[in-house]
Structure 1
């Protein structure tokens, strides 16, 4: 029974070889190219960010995206075998961008809140942050009580808004909470006297105020401590699990400490 089958197979191979020496073999060629293109799309992750949020993510003098979170995401992507693409978005619409599949993750000083947890799957926290109060050096405001009847600026869509609301007494006393598209514009209005104070992420606020010594002052009181995390869609648990393991490995081998020292002058990554 085996011998006839062997002869038959040999004959088919010979016929195939002769045919190949003749004209064409288009179908097999088409099949061979298909698998090569399929994995490419799956190996890309698009990260949404506010590209005016130094030192987490911003554009340098050459227009290139740089920052602590940029370096962190690139290294994590490399270890995961993913091509990382960054997409600047309207930060106030970040959850819509994520749900609409226009981005795959939010990685840009994203504060972990209970409200956001309803729609976003968060990584383990990797940085601690405070919502600080910035005033001009000549301002008479000394503490949160001094914000009574004042105009206070915040970035629209940032956790500063919620942080102020949590302090009911302070929130009620403030004359107006003015929202801005970014903190740079808010600081400009503060310097120009159109704002009395600005509530902003400490990491960002200290970065900006440090560039202009003698112009701004940070109050001793703040609007609470928060934590930063990476956010994905709720259904992307597998991706988040891999990301958490990768970040843990980066902490263990000192990579996050190196990146942190580059941007902050010391290791401030949450272990």
Structure 2
């Protein structure tokens, strides 16, 4: 009897973790979007504590296209992949970078926005941090949060600087404002946004992506959800992406 009960629990857990199919999503009437919500200008909370951003608008556009009610699930970078595996949401948005590792485990959409890794710095020191060699020095304080491609870049490429590890992306930015850190590695998308929003405070130390970091943002679903990713890829060219890009200062093509 105990074995049967254990088997039932295991089977239930397996069912709970199984991705909802596209048809199940449609029948439910609800599209669940997961975002870390700390990545401006893609998905973040504004001063009125409203979830806003380019990907928030894109999610609304997708839900409207599918005639579904939109529900956001707030995840984090360290738990983003596991939360998707656990079927806490249907689509991951809000700053997901296409990587080979993610592509081996999940299905990722076609390119949404081109991107790459750059150095965002406190403006008073930005001119001195214009290359990776200048950054990778013992006196330089680099702030980073866990769980994403920014941390991967820091761990793999910056070995001599002082590494300050903080809880999330908001703490990164605040450390630059407070000048408790000199710079952070982030995406070109985010760096451009913060330089525009906080001139004289936050500056791009490098204006082009570090060599080999050129990438793009995508949307991610579970590996057994081919129909859903096909729907997303078919929707992208017909979406209001260009309109939202202008609204949020996002570039959809490299110069």
The structural deviation recorded for 1:200 is: 1.0
Q: Which has the larger radius of gyration?
A: 1
Map 1:1-271; keep pairs closer than 5 Å. Answer: 42-139=28-125, 140-147=128-135, 148-149=137-138, 150-167=140-157, 171-176=158-163, 178-220=164-206, 222-223=209-210, 224-250=213-239, 255-264=240-249, 268=252
Q: Between 240-249 and 201-210, report the one with greater CA deviation.
A: 201-210
What secondary structure is seen at the aligned counterpart in 2 of 1:118?
A: helix
- Kindly tell me: are residues 207 and 146 of structure 1, through their superposed partners in 2, closer, same or farther at Cα, counting changes over 3 Å? same
What secondary structure is seen at the aligned counterpart in 2 of 1:84?
A: strand
TM superposition score normalised by structure 2: 0.79
The Cα offsets for residues 171-224 of structure 1, whole Å up to 9 and x where unpaired, read as 233332x33333322122123232121111121122123222112331236432
Gaps of 5+ in 1: 1-37
Tell which has more relative contact order, 1 or 2 (C-alpha 8 A, sep 6+): 2
Q: Between 65-74 and 148-157, report the one with greater CA deviation.
A: 148-157
Gaps of 5+ in 2: 1-23
- Distance (Å, rounded) in 2 between the aligned partners of 1:197 and 1:263: 23
The Cα offsets for residues 101-126 of structure 1, whole Å up to 9 and x where unpaired, read as 11111011100001111222100011
**Contact 2:25 2:31 survives alignment (8 Å):** no
**Contact 2:108 2:221 survives alignment (8 Å):** yes
Q: How many residues align?
A: 224
- Distance (Å, rounded) in 1 between the aligned partners of 2:26 and 2:230: 21
- Higher normalized helix content (fraction of residues): 1
What secondary structure is seen at the aligned counterpart in 2 of 1:260?
A: helix
